[in-house]
Amino acid sequence: MRYILERILLTIPTLLAMSVFVFLLIRLVPGDPVQTMLGFRATPQNVATIRHQLHLDEPLITQYREWLSGLLHGDLGRDYVSHAPLSELLRSAIPVTLELTLLSMGLALVAGVPLGVLGAQGPGLARRLTDGFVIGGVSVPDFWLGTLLVLLFSATLVWLPPSGYTPFTADPLANLRYMILPVTTLAIGEAAYISRTTRGSMEEALGAPFVTFLRAKGLPERSIVYRHALRNASVPIVTVAGIQFGVLLGGAIVIETLFGLPGVGRLTVTAINQRNYTVVQGAVLVIATLFIVVNLLTDLLYGWLDPRISAGGER
C-alpha cells in the first residue's frame, strides 16, 4: 500500500507540470494564435474580440489559473469552430482512441511475447523467423503498412472496409470489421519491439543459475520457460510495453486519420488544419494525461511482478 500511495502521489506533480507545459506550448509558440485562427478575417476588431473571449488579453498566470480551475471542474473550454463544449467532443473521441490503442497493445503482446520466447530458446527456424519479423516490423512505417493493407484487403480482396467506425455497443461485428486493419497496422510494429525485448530478457533469464538448478531438479522445460524464466524476465517487457503505449498514442494520430476513425488523433489533426487552438490544447492534454496514467499503472505492475521493488524503487 505504501508503494502504491507513493506512486500515486508522485503522479500528481507530474500531471501539474504537464498541464503547465501544455498551457505554455500553445501560448508561447511564434505568432499570434488568434490571427492564425481568423486568417483573412483577422481585423483588429475581430482579433481583440476573440482575444477577450479566450482570455488571451490577461496575464499568463491569470490565464493558467482560470484554465486550471476550469479543468478541475471538468470545463476544457469550447470549440472555436462549432462552439460545442470541448468536453463533449473528447467524451465521444476518447473511447475510440482507447479502443484502438488497447486492442493494438493487446495484439502486440499476444504476438510479440511468444515470438520472443521462441527466439530465446536457441538457434533454429523459430529464431530466424523471429529475427525476420523484428527487422520487418521495426523498419516498416505505420502509414505505409496501413495503406498497403487497405489496398490488399479492401481494394483487391474486398474483405474489410477501408475506413469508417461503428461503436461496439451499436454493432459488435461491424465494430470488429472496422477495427481489424487499423489495429493490425499499429500492432505489428509494437509486436516487433516487444519480441526483441522479450528475447533479450529471456536469454538473460534462461542463462541464470536458478534455471540450471530447476533443470537439475528435473522440471519440464515448458514449466521452466513459461512459469519461472518468463516471470523473472517480465519487468523489462512491461517497461517496453508502457513506453510503447505512448508510441501507440502518437501513432493513433496518423492511423485514425488514415482509416477515418473519429478519435482524439483525428480530432487533433482536424483542429490543427482549422487552426482551432482550444481543441488542440485540450487534445494534447488528454493524450499526455493518458500516457502519464499508463506509466503509473506500469509502475504499479512492477510491484506486483517483483515484490523486491520497495516503496523507494530499490531492488
Could you report the per-residue pLDDT of 273-290, keeping only the tens digit for each?
777 778 888 888 888 888
pLDDT band at 8 (very low <50, low <70, confident <90, very high): confident
| Candidate from 106-115, 160-169, 274-283, 304-313 with smallest mean pLDDT | 304-313
pLDDT band at 100 (very low <50, low <70, confident <90, very high): very high
- Single-letter amino acid code for the residue at 265: G
Range 39-62 average pLDDT: 78
C-alpha cell at position 16: 501539474
144: closest CA among 251, 245, 266?
251
User: pLDDT digit string (tens) for 204-241?
Assistant: 888 888 888 888 888 888 888 888 888 888 888 888 88
Q: Is the dihedral of CA 102, 189, 206, 118 positive or negative?
A: positive
Judged by DSSP in three states, 78 sits in strand
How far apart, in whole angstroms, are the C-alpha atoms of residue 13 and residue 35? 33
How far apart, in whole angstroms, are the C-alpha atoms of residue 133 and residue 114? 13
Q: What is the pLDDT of residue 307?
A: 64
133: CB partners within 8 A, 6+ apart: 115, 191, 192, 195
Distances (CA, A) of 83 to 102, 229, 278, 315: 31, 56, 11, 52
